[in-house]
Structure formats: C-alpha cells, structure tokens
Amino acid sequence: MEKIEDQFASLHIVRRSSEPKEPTYLLGIDTSKTVQAEKGGLVAVLCSNGSIRIYDKETLHLLREFSGSPGILSGVSFANSCDNVYSASTDGTVKCWDARVASEKPVQLFKGYPSCSFISFDVNCKDHVICAGAEKVDEDALLVFWDARFTSQDLSTRDPLGAYSETHSDDITQVRFHPSNPNLVVSGSTDGLVNVFDLSADKEEDALVATCNSVSSVSCIGWCGKDYKQIYCMTHDEGFCWWDLNHLDTDEPITCLNIQDVREITDVKDGHLDYLIGGLYHEKMERLFVIGGTNTGKIHLLSCTTAGLTHVTSLHGGHAATVRSFSWNVSEDSLLTGGEDAQLLLWKPGAMEKTFTKKDSLKIASSVQQRVRVHSSDSYKKRKQQ
C-alpha cells in the first residue's frame, strides 16, 4: 500500500472553482456520501457571507447557493443516506436543504429553545439525531437534540427532543458524532472541556462517559484510532490534545499527547507553521495526521504519534492566503481545500499540474470575521519575546 506521505506529496491541482460574484472566505467543506450512477458527487461549502454553496465535485462548477439569512451559519454537513445538507445558525435553528434542488427556503428547520444561538452541530451516522451546540446565555450553554428522521407525517419545522445543560460552562464550539456508533457524541467548548456522551442513557449525568480538559478554547475535535475509540482536539491558540478512551476503566493515563502550542515545537522543513486546520484519521493505515498551514497558503501534513507531531510533507502553489478548510477522500486519495482567497481547489495524485494564477488575498471588512475561527498569535508572540 502506498504511504499517505507519498500520496499527499504527489497531489497536484486539477480543478479550481470559478471566480465567485461575491468573494468570501471558505470556512467549511463536506462532500456528499451518496453517489448516483447518472449524477456526480456534490460538494457543499460554508462561506463567510452566510451562505452554503453547492458545487459539482469533479468540475467544481457552482450549481446553486443557499442563504442562511437571517442568522450566521456555522458548520456544513451532508446527511449519510441522502443529499440533504445541514448547517447551524445563530438564529436558533439548524437548517436543512436538498442539495440537488434550488430553493430559497430550507426543506426542514430544526428550532431550538428561546434565546438559543447555535454555533456548532452534527448529524449521527444513521441520520436519526441532530445535536447542536449553543453560545452561553446567562448561566446555560446548551447541547440541543432533535429527531431528524423523515416520516409520512413529516413536518417542515421540528421542535427539540431535549437538551444537556450541566456539562459545559461556556460556548459549545464543536460537536462530533462517532463515525459508526449513533449514540456516541463528543462536544468541545471555549471552557476547554471536551465531553463524551452516550445518548442511550436516560439522564445527562449518566450519559457523560468522559471529560477531558484541553485547558484552552476548543476549535476542532474528531474521532480517531482503531474502532474510533480515541479523540483529538485542537485549540484556538494552536494547541493539540489526543486522548485514548480505551483507558477509561484502567490505570493507564488516557492522555496520549498534549501540546500547548504546536507552532513552538514543530520543525517544518524549509518553512514554518502558522496555524492548525484540522485532523485526518486514515482508517486503512490506522494513523492520525494533522493538517496545518501558513498565512501565505502553504499546507503542511504532520504525522501524529505519542512522541509528538512530525512534519511529513507540504503542498504549495495553490492558495494565496490562509487555508480554512479541507476534505480528504480516502478512496480516491483526493483533497479539496478552501481558503481566505475565496478559492476552492481540487488536488489529485499524479495529475499534470496546470498553470494557475494565484488569487490575491481577500480583505473582507465585515462583522462576519468576528464570528469565524480566528487563529490567535498573541500568546505565541509573548512567549517568543520571553
């Protein structure tokens, strides 16, 4: 089997999305899980202008665009069994569109409780349950749940099944369901806590399986390891944590790795690391990788072991500004990336690299910038000065 290092290093740009009418940051990417023989796959992209753009996966032609108005959208995810696409909104809803049909309104609206403002969400592997994380209001930071199943008496608007309110003390920035167990979900918050829940339990206190502390505001979480019994976490000040849930009932420590600032200890060949983008667990190789980058658009692949993070290889020549999002297709060994230069790129191994003109970095003067993920450099600069 070809090593992922070689697969990643052999990637070249084969497609670049056309220049959009309204340039925006590309904050999130997901691809459709169902591919019909007569129709190609779809790509959904979360944009900083509050919209979801749907592209053809192979040509990167823009097919349609959904508006999240009046709220600001966070996250984007396709259903596992159909081409519905979801996003959470600060207007207190999770919105669902049919990605193959142009529509001004969502086909379903999952309404939260009064005063809820959602900034994270996920759908479980069976498409039965949606969970969304809210900003803290008064003393409450809620995890809200809905029944997402379609029925013969389907309603366009759904009310919540219930909520958890006791386990986080600040904004819930991340929610991720387990890839194969529909009852397991992990949440992360600006309070630094990463909580694992088993939804088959009746009460919140019984559902809480584990609490891990990143000691910093959580920006990204995910499942990894054999049978996905491990979790990893990234923080807004570029920290990285990795925990093994197999050790919960043993005397072994659950912490596999804890790095306060990846930028300070990671040696990148012929360059440097400015920020982390996300994690990539390669199931066939049973290896965890971390994706990071530079403010000029270079993308770094880092290998993760209990000894630390090691730079493997880099991609360059694609983006001209910070890369905000990616989606790796394991079966095709292809990569989609989106950035602050408003470019959506498709990379494939061994392809002939075409000549592209790198787009200028966008300067978007908008309140939206205050809502999207911001990589903090303050603590890093302070430590460098000491």
What is residue 8's predicted lDDT score, i.e. its pLDDT?
A: 84
Q: Output b/e per residue, 126-151; b: 16+ Cβ within 10 A.
A: bbebbbbbbbbeeebbbbbbbebeee
Does 323 fall in a domain?
no
Does 254 fall in a domain?
no
Judge contact between 121 and 88, C-beta under 8 A: yes
Alpha helices (H) in 275-365, listed in sequence order: none
Does 60 fall in a domain?
yes
Cα gap 168→190, rounded to integer Å: 9
Cα gap 242→221, rounded to integer Å: 10
**Residue 305, token pair as written in the block:** 């072991």
Which residue range(s) make up the domain with 190? 24-213
Cα gap 231→194, rounded to integer Å: 9
Count structural domains, the chain. Answer: 1
Cα gap 271→380, rounded to integer Å: 17
Does 255 fall in a domain?
no
What is residue 36's predicted lDDT score, i.e. its pLDDT?
A: 58
Cα gap 34→81, rounded to integer Å: 7
Does 229 fall in a domain?
no
What is residue 180's predicted lDDT score, i.e. its pLDDT?
A: 97
Expressed in percent and rounded to 5, the helix, strand and coil fractions of the chain are 10, 45, 45
Does 371 fall in a domain?
no
Cα gap 72→52, rounded to integer Å: 11
What is residue 35's predicted lDDT score, i.e. its pLDDT?
A: 67
The pLDDT averaged over each successive group of 10 residues in the chain (386 residues) is: 75 89 92 70 96 95 93 96 95 96 91 96 97 95 93 74 96 98 98 98 96 97 97 98 95 95 90 96 92 96 95 94 94 92 93 50 42 48 47
Nearest CA among 245, 235, 228 for reference residue 282: 228
Cα gap 211→306, rounded to integer Å: 20
Judge contact between 53 and 62, C-beta under 8 A: yes
Reply yes or no: is the peptide bond before residue 114 cis, omega within 30 of 0: no
Judge contact between 169 and 136, C-beta under 8 A: yes
CATH number of the domain encompassing residue 207? 2.130.10.10
Cα gap 198→213, rounded to integer Å: 18
Does 109 fall in a domain?
yes
Does 145 fall in a domain?
yes
